[in-house]
Amino acid sequence: MNQLKKEDIKQEVFDLYDDYAHNKIGRRQFVERLSLYAAGSVTVGALLSFMSPNYRTTAEVPEDDVRVQSDYIMYDSPKGGGKIKGLLSLPKDTTTKVPGVIVVHENRGLNPYIEDVGRRTSLDGFISLAPDALTPLGGYPGNDDDGRTMQKKRDRNEMLEDFIAAYEYLKSHPNCNGKVGVVGFCFGGWISNMMAVKLDDLKAAVPFYGRQPNDEDAAKIKAPLLLQYADLDKRVNAGWEAYEKVLKANKIDYEAHFYPNVNHGFHNNTTPRYDKKAATLAWTRTIDFFKDKLI
């Protein structure tokens, strides 16, 4: 069988995967509906395998990269999950204090992709902390399907408190200069938006395709925002018009980018939703934004 290519997959399949990844349909429904797009050598199994994340060969900064020092730590989250595990990464042989960045996972816990993003952030000159909100349930289970199921069992506002506690931890870390921002993806995009609502001294927030706060909360934001959206992401983009209206009315510092012809999750290089051109540009903008606001 010829290897599947992204251009061979209909947009409806990407939309179907989005519904599955965000718990709108279960795995059985996903597989059943996926069968509608199987034909000839393109089997359901091939489609399922193609759409699933590949963590084996996609790390941009491997765990053993000598340029980065990464270790798991535990920090206190009194209002959230108690003790939370996170991956703390900083540039190797750092001798000066550097800015901090909280890296927030999607709706499936601290998987290898998010750990990689934490190391990438560190490689760009920051101390990063990527928490695992699944810690109270045993931590990321090793696969995204079970991770999504586990994360559904936690209250999202308690998880928000876990990431706020991570911010406080990182801000006072001896290797941090006290200036901290946040970047998050999907669920993490919502967390990033809400950290901007809750934290008056947050220095920068970069939500990737994240749900927007309600109007009352959005008006409280003081942190500069860099908002990254996927042009084909109708689900999340539906909230943008109202969000922008509040941002403008309250003179909140924001910059928004909509990347054409890409799907929700375009930064995640472990699935075919990944778009290298858009992801590279969005990440360059993210790092430039953090350097401007945190240094």
- For the segment 111-144, what is each residue's pLDDT rounded down to a tens digit? 999 999 999 999 999 999 999 999 999 999 999 9
| CA distance linking residue 277 with residue 273, whole number of Å | 12
User: Quick one: average pLDDT of 195-216?
Assistant: 98
Domain ranges in the chain with CATH number 3.40.50.1820: 68-294
Whose tokens are 């965000």? That residue is 22
Look at residue 43 in the predicted model and tell me its pLDDT: 87
Look at residue 42 in the predicted model and tell me its pLDDT: 80
Range of weakest confidence among 21-30, 154-163, 171-180: 21-30
Fold of 68-294: Rossmann fold (3.40.50)
Mean pLDDT of the chain: 95
| CA distance linking residue 81 with residue 134, whole number of Å | 9
Would you say residue 41 has pLDDT above 80? no
pLDDT band at 208 (very low <50, low <70, confident <90, very high): very high
Find the Cα–Cα–Cα–Cα dihedral 237, 220, 293, 187, rounded to 10°. -40
Look at residue 93 in the predicted model and tell me its pLDDT: 84
pLDDT band at 1 (very low <50, low <70, confident <90, very high): very low
CA 93 to chain centre: 27
The residue among 236, 234, 233 whose CA lies nearest residue 213 is 236
Would you say residue 4 has pLDDT above 90? no
Look at residue 73 in the predicted model and tell me its pLDDT: 98
Give, in order, the Cα–Cα distances in Å from 273 to each of 5, 140, 207. 11, 22, 18
79 Cβ contact partners less than 8 Å away, ≥ 6 residues apart: 158, 161, 164, 165
Look at residue 94 in the predicted model and tell me its pLDDT: 83
| CA distance linking residue 187 with residue 205, whole number of Å | 14
Whose tokens are 């193609």? That residue is 50
Give, in order, the Cα–Cα distances in Å from 185 to each of 4, 265, 268. 26, 8, 9
Decide: 212 and 235 in contact? Cβ < 8 Å: no
Look at residue 119 in the predicted model and tell me its pLDDT: 98
pLDDT in tens, 74-86: 999 999 889 999 9
Would you say residue 180 has pLDDT above 60? yes
The residue among 194, 190, 192 whose CA lies nearest residue 217 is 194
| CA distance linking residue 211 with residue 214, whole number of Å | 10
Look at residue 224 in the predicted model and tell me its pLDDT: 98
Strands of the sheet containing 82-91, edge to edge, are 68-77, 82-91, 127-132, 98-104, 176-185, 204-208, 225-230, 254-259
Segment (H or E) for 204: strand 204-208
Percent of the chain at pLDDT > 90 equals: 89
**Residue 46 or 219, more confident:** 219
64 Cβ contact partners less than 8 Å away, ≥ 6 residues apart: none
User: Quick one: average pLDDT of 65-82?
Assistant: 95
| CA distance linking residue 95 with residue 99, whole number of Å | 13
Look at residue 39 in the predicted model and tell me its pLDDT: 79
Residue 100, helix vs strand vs coil: strand
